[in-house]
């Protein structure tokens, strides 16, 4: 299928609106992506004519909702190239997915003095659960820095591993720097030492094809709202042998088979790890979003975004008063920046918003990285498949206005 940017943009109704009297230029995709009409329609249809609670219902609507909800599991498996459908556990997104691994796999298995290796680029969602283990169990966190361009040399990660390393928790793509990490090489080295690997795919999965079987990681988490799907949807791939080692994290709902006064019997995985009433409609919407992306083709999306990245890099590098954080040659189309002078990231974001340009400002839930970079906050322009070179130009025009205003 040929990538048609005009057709893609037509699929996203919000791109037709104006903000502050200007056409919307949405460059906050690293925080959350906009939704195509097919996802909006699927959500509306589910609530308006197909809604019921899933599982164990014998009536028509319950069976219909269950079929649609459960069909998403195979779509996620296909999207991540997992040959085992039951390796997919549904959740509300990567934060819940990583916490599941912390509580269900790591806590029962790790002991005081064991080590977890992290990169300095990690999102707080891939830091805080491991701090819980540090505080409560005496686990040691080992941090690995990036180089001056924001690259993470796999050899640095490998050098940080020891016989005490039990887990490597690593982002596939930095939400701040755009750095793409060689998680396959890191995974092989960790496995050679007997450690397991969790990959935070929350940023990566929307930008490139993902193959968990090629990576050979033990866990791979994704977030629906970054994948053009609804908020509150998500999933995590868990290698079957790791899933067999896990104990339930939350209790209630379909994660049990029988409950008695003296004993309970758990359901089979993956249901064993899906407690409570699920986000039925959100997951159905996620399935439609994944179908939409796969129909366009992840290679086509990646190629389009690479063109945007190269053009944005060329334009932004021409601004000698702009400081770009993260200059990896293979980075994704994510650009964090500050301006020389007194302008705070929040000031820049506010001015750009007046011109209809949406960017993110702050520490981007990556405070250890901010400290490493020597900044408290940055602006971030993060691109998606529906963005254009013309929107890059509008961003540059907006930044030039900011420089005139604050410089």
- Residues 164-176 have pLDDT tens digits of 999 999 999 999 9
Task: Give yes or no for a contact between 327 and 149, defined as CB atoms under 8 angstroms apart.
Answer: yes
Going by their DSSP bridges, the two strands 234-238 and 88-91 should be labelled as: antiparallel
d(C-alpha 329, C-alpha 99), whole Å: 32
Q: In angstroms, rounded to a whole number, what is the distance separating the alpha carbons of residues 403 and 180?
A: 30
Domain boundaries, the chain: 5-30+297-406, 42-295
pLDDT in tens, 202-238: 999 999 999 999 999 999 999 999 999 999 999 999 9
Average pLDDT estimate for 24-33: 98
- The set of catalytic residues is 365
Cα 80 from chain centroid (whole Å): 13
Instruction: Identify whether the C-beta of residue 146 lies closer than 8 Å to the C-beta of residue 179.
Output: yes
Euclidean distance between CA atoms 219 and 189, whole angstroms: 16
Q: What is the pLDDT of residue 2?
A: 83
What is the CATH architecture of 5-30+297-406? Alpha-Beta Complex (3.90)
The answer on pLDDT for 384 being more than 80 is: yes
Query: Which H or E run contains 311?
Result: helix 298-317
Alpha-carbon span 240 to 246, nearest angstrom: 10
Per residue, the 3-state secondary structure of 4-31, as one string, reads CHHHHHHCCHHHHCEECCEECEECECCC
How do 378-382 and 165-171 pair as beta strands?
unpaired
CB neighbours of 117 closer than 8 A, spacing ≥ 6? 142, 144, 157, 160, 161, 165, 167, 168, 169, 170, 190, 195
Point out which residues pair with 22 in neighbouring strands.
19
**Cα–Cα distances in Å, from 229 out to 72, 89, 134, 203, 289?**
12, 17, 34, 14, 5
Residue 407, pLDDT > 80, answer no
Supply the pLDDT for residue 1. 64
Residues in CB range of 287: below 8 A, 6 or more apart = 68, 71, 72, 75, 76
Are both 5-30+297-406 and 42-295 of the same fold?
A: no
Is beta strand 165-171 parallel, antiparallel or unpaired with respect to 115-119?
parallel
Order of all β-strands in the sheet with 140-144:
88-91, 234-238, 219-223, 196-200, 165-171, 115-119, 140-144
- Note the pLDDT tens digit of each residue in 305-345: 999 999 999 999 999 999 999 999 999 999 999 999 889 99
Q: What is the pLDDT of residue 281?
A: 98
Give percent above pLDDT 70 in the chain.
100
Distances in Å between the Cα of 333 and the Cα atoms of 37, 130, 282, 305, 405 are 24, 29, 27, 6, 27
Interval 49-68: pLDDT, tens: 999 999 988 999 999 999 99
- CA angle, residues 71, 72, 76, in degrees to nearest 5: 130
Q: What is the mean pLDDT of the chain?
A: 97
CB 19 within 8 A of CB 358: yes
Which CATH number is 42-295's, of 3.30.565.10, 3.40.640.10, 3.90.245.10, 3.40.1080.10? 3.40.640.10
Interval 106-137: pLDDT, tens? 999 999 999 999 999 999 999 999 999 999 99
Tokens of 334: 């994510």
């Amino acid at each position: 299928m040929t990538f048609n940017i005009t057709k893609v943009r037509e699929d996203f109704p919000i791109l037709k609106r104006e903000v502050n009297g200007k056409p919307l230029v949405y460059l906050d995709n690293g925080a959350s992506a906009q939704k195509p009409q097919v996802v909006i329609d699927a959500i509306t249809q589910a609530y308006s004519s197909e809604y019921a609670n899933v599982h164990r219902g014998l009536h028509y609507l319950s069976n219909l909702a269950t079929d649609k909800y459960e069909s998403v599991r195979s779509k996620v498996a296909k999207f991540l190239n997992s040959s085992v459908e039951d390796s997919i556990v549904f959740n509300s997104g990567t934060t819940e997915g990583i916490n599941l691994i912390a509580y269900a796999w790591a806590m029962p298995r790790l002991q005081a003095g064991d080590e977890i290796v992290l990169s300095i680029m990690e999102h707080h969602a891939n830091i805080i659960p491991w701090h819980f283990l540090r505080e409560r169990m005496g686990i040691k966190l080992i941090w690995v820095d990036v180089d001056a361009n924001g690259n993470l040399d796999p050899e640095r990660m490998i050098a940080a591993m020891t016989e005490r390393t039990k887990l490597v928790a690593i982002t596939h793509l930095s939400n701040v720097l755009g750095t793409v990490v060689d998680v396959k090489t890191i995974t092989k080295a960790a496995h050679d030492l007997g450690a397991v690997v969790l990959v935070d795919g929350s940023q990566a999965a929307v930008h490139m094809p993902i193959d968990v079987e090629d990576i050979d990681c033990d866990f791979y988490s994704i977030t629906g709202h970054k994948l053009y799907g609804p908020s509150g949807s998500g999933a995590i791939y868990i290698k079957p042998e790791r899933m067999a080692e896990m104990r339930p994290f939350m209790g209630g709902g379909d994660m049990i088979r029988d409950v008695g006064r003296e004993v309970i019997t758990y359901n089979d995985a993956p249901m064993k790890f899906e407690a409570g009433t699920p986000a039925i409609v959100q997951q159905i919407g996620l399935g439609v979003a994944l179908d939409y992306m796969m129909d366009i083709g992840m290679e086509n999306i990646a190629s389009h975004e690479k063109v945007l990245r190269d053009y944005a890099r060329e334009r932004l590098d021409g601004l000698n008063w702009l400081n770009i954080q993260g200059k990896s040659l293979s980075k994704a189309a994510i650009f964090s920046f500050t301006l020389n002078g007194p302008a705070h990231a929040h000031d820049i974001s506010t001015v750009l918003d007046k011109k209809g340009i949406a960017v993110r400002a702050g520490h981007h839930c990556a405070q250890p990285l901010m400290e490493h970079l020597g900044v408290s906050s940055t602006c971030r322009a993060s691109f998606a498949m529906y963005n254009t070179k013309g929107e890059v130009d509008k961003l540059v025009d907006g930044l030039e206005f900011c420089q005139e205003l604050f410089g």
